[in-house]
Structure 1
Amino acid sequence: MSPVDLLMSPQVDAFAPQFSEADDEILDLVQRQTLRFFWEGAHPISGLARDRQKTTGDPDNDLVAIGGSGFGIMAVVVGVERGWISRDDAVSRLGTMLSCLERTPRYHGLFPHFINGRTEATIPFNRKDDGGDVVESALLFQGLLCARQYFDGDSTAERDLRHRIDRLWLEAEWDWYRRDGGNHLYWHWSPDQGWAMNREIAGWNEGLLVYVLAAGAPEHTIDADVYHEGFASGPGFRNGRSYHGIELPLGMDHGGPLFIAHYSFCGLDPRGLSDRHADYWQQNVRHTRINYEHCVANPHGHAGYGPDCWGLTSSHGPRGYVAHAPGKDIGVITPSAALASFPYTPEEAMRALRYFLTKPKHRIWGRFGLVDAFCESHNWYARTYLAINQGPIIIMTENFRSGLLWSLFMSAPEVQSGLQKLGFESPHLSQAGSAAAMRPA
């Protein structure tokens, strides 16, 4: 049955506050179709995630995305749990991916942004960015740790998988990226360019995951001051202003692109997660609601915007790749922005999904699910899919439905150690955490 057939089924009440069985079928269909990006659309040699795919035909290059591959690993776990991929096939595919990663040049244990999936060579992101990328590496390790926790069987293949993941994990020299012991982690380093990029991981952004992993690393770790005096004291970390009547604790004005509420939180469970700086469930819910309310208010009069068509985040558009956000709104809606927000605004996300699936199938839906983005003002629809947007659709929808990836990642001893070292509180850190505490109102 097509997504539109499911949508138009009399079982679906577009105004029902509770999800129906048909809604669950739609979520199944969208997750499963999107999973194909990482399974059928993966690089044919390495099995890693291509940076992007086309709606028709595979790209004529070997460009593989390290962060996108982390999301792909998590997507494969969802596929196994949902019964769409066999456990043995998943272990085999992950073994192929690890073989490529083990041969990939690493820079003090961390991976570059892009590699060649055929030769494993580094592909520079730009002239100066030709070495280690800390954030992309963190997104990869987020996926690898989830896989290690999930594939906990006694078979030789699963034991070997865990051992290989541990070996890569232990070789990551997070402390090297402090740049001579300073109180920041830096985004990039390369043997040719050194610290020429000179970009601190500071302020409110997807770098939260980096600091948790670095703090929890059994070797090459960082101390808590690097987080509190570096990341959490950077420009743009604190906000406290209100937008559409919603106070935003952290981040740039209006919250910025929604991926900030998604990337680190594919694994980090924000429910009940807090430290001296913020309650991260409230932060993400408020960020999402501001993004939603902006699209409903539609101050620029963009075609299509409204309660059933919202979601601004980084994606392709008529002007190329842009970090779309309320403060940089050029009329481009990115489906992953709304769909990866299912945990935070489930009814609004479901309403958006229903609307997206009423659009002409050849414009918005294809072999790997919903296309990257569209702009009704220009009658423009992407002909591409991006790994870093397709992955969060599967992962965050699954976290909403079952909490699977949150449970796996937060069960990792290194993650718990990192959170404790940095002063976080979470129900996952206490045996007394009740089921009710896991989902704040």
Structure 2
Amino acid sequence: MLTALLAMAGPLPPILPEIGIERPPWVFEADDESLLESAQFGAFRALTSVTAYGGMVRDATNSPVISMAGVGFQLAALALAPEHGWMTELEAETKALNILQEILNTPGITKHGLYYHWIDATSGAPRPDWDGVSTVDSALLYAGAIVAGSRFGGLVDDAVTELLLAADWSKFVLTDEVSGFPSGYLSLAWEPENEAEPTGSGGLMPFAWVDAMDEERLTVFLAQTQLDPTKSTNPNLWWSLRRPIGITSAGERVVYSPYSGAFFRTFYAQLFMDTPRMGPDNPASRGFQARTTTDFWENSRRHAGLHRDRAISNPEGLPTLGATGWPLTASLSPSGYAVPGVFPSPQSIPGSNRPEDEPNPGGTNPAYGDGTVAVYGAAGALMFDRRAMEVLRYARNLNPPLVWNEPSVGGFGYRDAWNEGNGGWSASKHIAIDDGALLVAIENVRTGRVWSLFHEHPFVQIAMERIGLSRSSCAWGGCPEDVDRDCVVAFSDLLAVLSDWGFNPGSPADVNQDNAVEFSDLLEVLSAIGPCNAGKLPE
């Protein structure tokens, strides 16, 4: 009774998984393994076969521009190529190095070391249309480059180091209050005053990354890979990001985005950041009482379930949606680019202030679009919910083929998206950031290799330490008794329980998750002494 009363009066209830829930990498049947390998190979071909200036991948098939975020995924794909037999070690390393050198040696494509969203596919120059310098696209470029730097080392990592140290993130911090938010948040982008002169004078967009969704978290995290603190941001920016709370159709609490219910908002950071082995964070320990302790892998698992539930209920009777057609996310559609999505039911945060701690009411109506489903969204969902494999199988086996172009005979695997209404439609273009997300997500659910390579990099380890995050060799919660997550339940775990004794919601030492570390948790650890390899990544 006392524990329950303390829980009601204490910090916000944490977002944690059920005890013992399985986390990726998953084990697949042989047929599914074959399908996933083919899908990765197709995406790899799309990212490396059709290139433009400097060997960089175009934003989309036949696009006149290069997406710098897409180039980040291209570099990550090259890091994976030798193990899959898609390229030799020398071919992949040489191509990655050439791309990085072209980026570093092309003048006029940065402001303060961060990169334009798009550059011209022929000249490599910024284009005379909306061509802002994007913080999130730069972050995705850096994340992919870090994976390549860890994989190849040597000259490749030297180039990656030069890339990261050139970034002056401090120049993208908003110094004025914006829309009720205090100063200190990162702007979405720098934009020119005159679109016809993209490299001319300009300033920061008066819009900031303020919510703890994946684009925001990845961008804020990558800012900490700048070793010079005068060119970085305040590490507490990670903790100051809002965590709006909603309730899913399954009655589960989630942190959500009030601006878009598209599924991509819940997984792009986790293509690189190993949340299965990072576990929950603790904003209250940093002084942010209106930010709930969150296991972001579990948070995304709940979002995946929400998308699946809404697709199955399909209140508008749209084509494609169902158990084999989810999640809803940004993609091409029969009528052009679309960003459908769904939201949980918003819940107020006790003691919070608006808009600093939670958004103003409204703006969270679902947008089901026309029923178009993007395959990369299903691949992303597979990092959290194995039922997404049903979507990938279904799309592969549609007959006559609507979504699949066989890679073994020159195809690029899955098309970007499909819709089964009006006789059937599928996208004719490939999108670099979608193919890249599909390839990386599948690699992580099969091997965890991208997570490992990203976290091996010393600059990432520095960023983790600065912010106050940690990662273990074993999945958080795989063996809840392994409190210190060193893959063995031992005396050190008993000490960890004793050191966290008392009311402590979200503590790894709260083995039975009753919000208090007490004698029952000590008994749980004692009864499980021995090895724990749940979710351990291969060396």
| Secondary structure at 1:340 match in 2 | helix
> Secondary structure in 2 aligned to 1:52?
coil
Contact 1:246 1:290 in 2 (8 A): no
Q: Quick check: 1:254–1:290 contact (8 Å CA) kept in 2? A: no
In structure 1, what residue type is equivalent to 2:172?
Y
Q: TM-score, normalised by structure 1?
A: 0.85
Deviation at 1:24, TM superposition (A): 1.0
Correspondence 1:121-132 to 2 at 5 A: 121-123=125-127, 126=130, 130-132=131-133
CA distance in 1, matches of 2:117, 2:36: 31
Q: How does 1:209-358 map to 2 (within 5 A)?
A: 209-219=218-228, 220-229=231-240, 232-233=241-242, 237-239=243-245, 241-252=246-257, 256-273=261-278, 274-276=280-282, 277-326=293-342, 327-330=366-369, 331-346=371-386, 348-358=387-397
Is residue 272–residue 280 contact of structure 1 (8 Å, CA) maintained in 2? no
**Partner Cα distance (2:202, 2:174) in 1:** 10
The Cα shift of 1:426 comes to: 2.5
**Matches of residues 115-126 of structure 1 in structure 2 within 5 Å?**
115-123=119-127, 126=130
* Bigger share in helix: 1
Q: What is the deviation of 1:101? A: 0.7
Distance 1:124 1:394, change over 3 A: farther
Q: What residue ranges of structure 2 are gaps of 5+ in the alignment?
A: 1-25, 177-182, 193-199, 283-292, 343-365, 406-410, 475-482, 488-531
**Cα distance change of structure 1 residues 252 and 161 upon mapping to structure 2, 3 Å threshold:** closer
Identify the residue that residue 33 of structure 1 maps to in structure 2: 42
Measured in 2, the distance between the counterparts of 1:19 and 1:341 equals: 15
2:354 is aligned to none
Instruction: Tell me the alpha carbon deviations over residues 147-189 of structure 1, each in whole angstroms, 9 at most, x when there is no partner.
Output: 111113xxxxxx2222111111100011111134941011111
Distance 1:125 1:186, change over 3 A: farther
How many aligned positions are there? 401
CA distance in 2 between partners of 1:175 and 1:254 (Å): 25
The equivalent of 2:114 in structure 1 is 110
**1:155 aligns to what?**
none
Residue 189 of structure 1 aligns to a residue in which SS? strand
Q: Give per-residue Cα distances to partners, 1:106-135, cap 9 Å, x unaligned.
A: 100000000123322012562xxx332110
Post-superposition CA distance 1:350-400 (Å, at most 9, x none): 211111012245531222211111122243221111111111111011001
Alignment of 1:66-105 (within 5 A): 66-102=68-104, 103-104=106-107, 105=109
Equivalent residue, structure 1, for 2:416: 372
Give the Å deviation of 1:431.
Answer: 8.7
Distance 1:254 1:216 in 2: 28
Deviation at 1:243, TM superposition (A): 2.0
Deviation at 1:71, TM superposition (A): 1.0
Extract unaligned runs of 5+ from structure 1: 1-16, 54-58, 153-158
* Separation in structure 2 between the aligned mates of residue 395 and residue 408 of structure 1, nearest angstrom: 12
Asked if residue 425 in structure 1 is aligned to residue 465 in structure 2, the reply is no
Q: Cα 1:139–1:124, aligned 2, differ >3 Å: closer, same or farther?
A: farther
The answer for the alignment partner of 2:168 in structure 1 is 173
Give distance in 2, aligned partners of 1:119 and 1:369: 30
Q: CA deviation at 1:255?
A: 7.6
Partner of residue 396, structure 1: 441
Instruction: Look up the equivalent residue of 2:443 and give its one-letter code.
Output: E
Higher mean C-alpha deviation, range 387-396 or range 324-333: 324-333
Distance change in 2, residues 1:141/1:125 (3 Å): farther
Which has the higher Rg, Structure 1 or Structure 2?
2
Aligned residues: percent identity? Answer: 25
RMSD between aligned alpha carbons?
2.5
What one-letter code is carried by the residue in structure 2 that aligns with 1:91? E
Relative to structure 2, which stretch is displaced further, 244-253 or 380-389?
244-253
SS at match of 2:383: coil
Q: Per-residue CA shift, 1:200-233, capped at 9, x if unaligned?
A: 011133121111111232021222233333xx13
What is aligned with 1:416? 461
Identify if the C-alpha distance between structure 1 residues 361 and 390 changes in structure 2 by more than 3 Å, giving closer, same or farther: farther
Looking at structure 2, the residues matched to 196 and 170 of structure 1 have their Cα atoms a distance apart, in angstroms, of 21
Say whether the 8 Å CA contact 2:373–2:418 is kept in structure 1: yes
TM-score (norm 2): 0.70
Question: 2:143 maps to which residue?
Answer: 142
User: Take 1:432 and 1:278, find their aligned partners in 2: how far apart are those partners?
Assistant: 17
Cα distance in structure 1, aligned partners of 2:400 and 2:129: 33
Q: Please tell me whether the aligned partners of residues 281 and 469 of structure 2 are also in contact (alpha carbons under 8 angstroms).
A: yes
The answer (yes or no) to whether the contact 2:271–2:441 under 8 Å persists in 1 is yes
Q: Verify the 8 A CA contact 2:312 2:321 in the aligned structure 1.
A: yes
Distance 1:295 1:37, change over 3 A: same
